[in-house]
Structures are given as structure tokens and as C-alpha cells.
Amino acid sequence: MGLYTTNLAADKKPEIATGTAFVYHPDYQKHVLEEGHPESPARLQAILKRLKEGGLEKELLQVKTSGKPMDYIKKVHGKEHLAIIQSYPNEAICQLAVQGGCTGIDQVMSGKVRNAFCAVRPPGHHAVDGLHTKQAQAFGFCFYSNVAIAARYAQLKYKLKKILIIDWDYHHGNSTEWAFYTDPSVLFFSTHDLRAFPGTGSADKKGAGAGLGFNINAPLPPGATDKDILTAFEKKLLPAAEKFKPDLILISAGFDSRKDDLLGNFKITDDGFIALTKMVMELAKKHCKSRLVSILEGGYNVQGLALATEAHLKTMLKEK
């Protein structure tokens, strides 16, 4: 009888993992663009401090970024872009940022955790080939397209067919759009301020060729609120995601769309980010065994960034 009970218990082992990985590497703090630049090491320092003080640090699975992403970087960026970025003294840290997303995917795909947040720098969603200067001037503070490369990594290493990328950064994820514009295997959804840098992201850009319909831009008005962004998610993301049925969801988690950011004018609150996180988790639960990897993009009011990240992570960890 005891044996029977044991076997029954084993059969009932839940298919969905629990827990949240926090992927990080101390070298992310060694990347400095210039003195006083908003995309600074203080951003990650503020996140780490908040997670420690709020007690969440202990509840997350702390994972150090590891591995080599170059084979996958080459799937997104061409030789010319690589040559320019490789002339940059901090190129190794840019690779490490890419690898952060891949490490998060490894954690989720191995079943060690239900989802992962990757606290990486530099960000990636503006890194488009042809837009960097010969001096490796960061385009929108970005060097390699972290989230796009992570999507390719998931497809190639884990044979996942369909990846949904959700970008709630204040700025349009032009690099992600560029990487997958003709590709129906990646559904890209972005909310942003059309009037802000880089000026792309109009709603009529819907993809091309086989990728037509798989690029969804949902520009929001200046001063956009929780209601504005939640409505865009409900009306434009949810129906498309239901049809697409992703095998994995990635978030380009930019928190410069939060209220009081230095570079943005949206008014998204931490409760707004909690609601967005729940909505995305619901999609992941329904379609892809809750597999969700969130990768940091912008967020330049360091206190605000820390609070929004904490709210996002708490939801990822505790929401059923």
C-alpha cells in the first residue's frame, strides 16, 4: 500500500516548475558609457539593494550568467555590426548581457524554475545593424540585440518553434522589429511613445512577407497611464497571442515607461507593472507551461526602476 501511494505521488509530480531565477553577473556594473550617463551601473546597484532590503533576494534563485553567446549573436547580427562592436573596449560585457538572456532560458527550459528575470546591462532592443558608427557609439545605449538573440537561442538550442516577445519599454524595440520583420516564428508586440527615440514603431508596420501580421506596434499617447497600457495589452496583444500560441514568452522589460522616469513621460505605476506581469503570466500558463523569461531593457530613475523591478519579480515569483 505504501509503495502504491509513493508511485501515485510520483505520477502526480507537477509538470510546471516553481520559483524564479534572478540572472546577474557582477561585470554588468563595469560597463560605463560616460560620466553622468543615465544608463549607468547605479541602475543595477539600486535593483540589488532593493531586493536585499525588501527580502526578495533570498526567495529568488540567484544565478550567475555563464556561457558563450557568439554563435547565436551571429544569427542576428551581420559581420559589419560585429566588427564595429568588437572594436569597443567593453564588448565582452555586451556579450555577457546577451548571455544573461540565454542563461535565463536555460534555467526555465531545464525546469529548475518557472520563470526568470535577467538583470543585464547594456540593454539591447535598439541594436540594429547599420546604425552604429565606426567608433562603436552605442545606439540608444545598446550594442547587441539581447532579446532577439535570446529568441534565436531558444529556437536553435531547445527547438522551440514560436516565440512571443513583449516589449513594454517606453521606447520602441526597433531592433527586435528589425530582426523578425519577415519572420512568422516570432510574434513581436511593443507599446511605446512614437514621438520618442528612435522614432519608429507606427501601428501600420505589421511585418512583411511571411511575417505579415506578426509585428504589432501599439504606440501610446504621451503621459500614458496604467489604463492605456492595459487596454493596449488586452485589445491588441491577447487576441494575437491566443492565435499564435507561443512556446516561450520573452519580455523586453524596460521600466522607463514607469512614472517619473528621466527619459520618459508615461505614468505607469508599480501596480500597472504587476497587472501587466499577471497578464503575461496567464498567457504563459495557458500556452507554454508558464515558461517566461524577462530581460531588463531601460529604466533611468534608479529608485523607480528598483521598485518596479521588485513589483515585477514579486509577481513572477508568487502569482499562482
Catalytic residues: 126
Distance in Å, CB of 140 to Zn ion, minimum: 7
Closer by beta carbon to Zn ion, 121 or else 171: 171
Closer by beta carbon to Zn ion, 280 or else 305: 305
Closer by beta carbon to Zn ion, 100 or else 124: 124
Contact flag: residue 169 with Zn ion (CB under 5 A) = yes
Closer by beta carbon to Zn ion, 77 or else 171: 171
3-state secondary structure the chain: CHHHHHHHHHHCCCCCCCCEEEEECHHHHHCCCCCCCCCCCHHHHHHHHHHHHCCHHHHCEEEECCCCCHHHHCCCCCHHHHHHHHCCCCHHHHHHHHHHHHHHHHHHHCCCCCEEEECCCCCCCCCCCCCCCCCCCCECCECCCHHHHHHHHHHHHHCCCCEEEEECCCCCCHHHHHHHCCCCCEEEEEEECCCCCCCCCCCCCCCCHHHCCCEEEEECCCCCCHHHHHHHHHHHHHHHHHHHCCCEEEEEECCCCECCCCCCCCCECHHHHHHHHHHHHHHHHHHCCCCEEEEECCCCCHHHHHHHHHHHHHHHHHCC
Closer by beta carbon to Zn ion, 129 or else 169: 169
Entry field: residues in the chain: 320
Contact flag: residue 124 with Zn ion (CB under 5 A) = no
Distance in Å, CB of 172 to Zn ion, minimum: 9
Figure out which of the listed residues 25, 50, 132, 171 binds Zn ion, where binding follows CB under 5 A: 171
Closer by beta carbon to Zn ion, 122 or else 246: 122
Residues 231-290, interacting with Zn ion (CB under 5 A): 254, 256
Distance in Å, CB of 257 to Zn ion, minimum: 8
> Which span (9-17, 56-64, 67-75, 298-306) binds Zn ion, by CB under 5 A?
298-306
Distance in Å, CB of 126 to Zn ion, minimum: 8
Number of residues interacting with Zn ion: please give it, by CB under 5 A: 6
Residue nearest to Zn ion (CB): 298
Distance in Å, CB of 138 to Zn ion, minimum: 13
Figure out which of the listed residues 101, 122, 124, 298 binds Zn ion, where binding follows CB under 5 A: 298
> Which span (32-40, 202-210, 280-288, 292-300) binds Zn ion, by CB under 5 A?
292-300
Distance in Å, CB of 1 to Zn ion, minimum: 60
Q: Using CA atoms, how far apart are residues 132 and 251, in angstroms rounded to an integer?
A: 24
- Contact residues for Zn ion (CB under 5 A)? 169-171, 254, 256, 298
